[in-house]
Amino acid sequence: MRSVLVVNPKGGAGKTTVATNLAGALACRGEQVFLWDLDRQRSALGWLSMRPAELPLIRRLDQRLEDELPPALKRAFLVIDSPAGLHGRGLTQSVRHADKVLVPVQPSVFDMAASGTFLEQLREEKPVRKSRSPVGLLGMRVDPRTRAAATLGSYLAQFDLPVLAYLRDSQVYPNAAFGGMSVFDLPPSLSQRDREQWEPVLEWVIGKD
């Protein structure tokens, strides 16, 4: 499977929002999608349990099943949501499962400091160090035209990792989540800007292959 780990030990960084919307985006594009929730709070699975049956299917995964997968699912996407506070062995194990690593960061001084410390640790993880698992950053709850985005962008520049996109702060996200939906399950009239903001993230996730 093509797996994407969404990770940032800072609580409330936007991991579950990113994981559920990424899963929704991929499902809406006709991809086979599995969601794996490593967080004991089970927020992503709670969201999935509310998802209306008529929307594009996202399946839950309770443990990595790579060897048992039928060939048709080898091309499926696995989106992994992770808990706050992930570090040490837990982080190492999670990164080992990831073909790509997506790190949401909010533009606050507290979030940036915590995320910076984390990005230093993440760079030391073997799959990242050996460039096997690319890391992409995502500015969360920030308008790309604002000073906050510029401040975040120049802070993140020191890590030499791509900032894939900035996702705006919008009630569309929590509102969609209440119904087990992503912004891609909403009418385009409500979510056009958000869909556009996600485009480079999806390109990075889906890649050429």
Which residues bind to ligand ATP, rule: CB under 6 A? 11-17, 39, 84, 140-141, 167, 169-170, 173-174, 177
Residue with tokens 């790579």: 66
Q: Is 16 in the site for Mg ion (CB under 5 A)?
A: yes
13 binds, among Mg ion, ligand ATP, none (CB under 5 to 8 A by kind): ligand ATP
Q: Of the candidates 15, 51, 141, 168, which one interacts with Mg ion according to CB under 5 A?
A: 15
* Torsion, Cα of 138, 139, 140, 143 (10° steps): -140
Q: Which residue is at the shortest CB distance from Mg ion?
A: 16
Tokens of 145: 């035209």
Q: Which stretch binds Mg ion (CB under 5 A): 13-21, 98-106, 145-153, 181-189?
A: 13-21
14 binds, among Mg ion, ligand ATP, none (CB under 5 to 8 A by kind): ligand ATP
Smaller CB distance to ligand ATP: residue 70 or 178?
178
Smaller CB distance to Mg ion: residue 40 or 130?
40
Q: Provide the 8-state DSSP code for 74.
A: T
3 binds, among Mg ion, ligand ATP, none (CB under 5 to 8 A by kind): none
85 CB neighbour count, 10 Å cutoff = 11
Cβ 11 to Mg ion, closest distance in Å? 8
Helix axes 147-157, 109-124, angle to 10 degrees: 30
- Output phi, psi for 103, to 5 deg: -120, 105
12 binds, among ligand ATP, Mg ion, none (CB under 5 to 8 A by kind): ligand ATP
**Rounded distance, CA 38 to CA 144, Å?**
30
Q: What angle do CA 198, 102, 7 make, to 5 degrees?
A: 130
CB neighbour list of residue 148: distance below 8 Å, 6 or more residues apart: 107, 142
Residue ranges binding Mg ion (CB under 5 A)? 15-16, 43
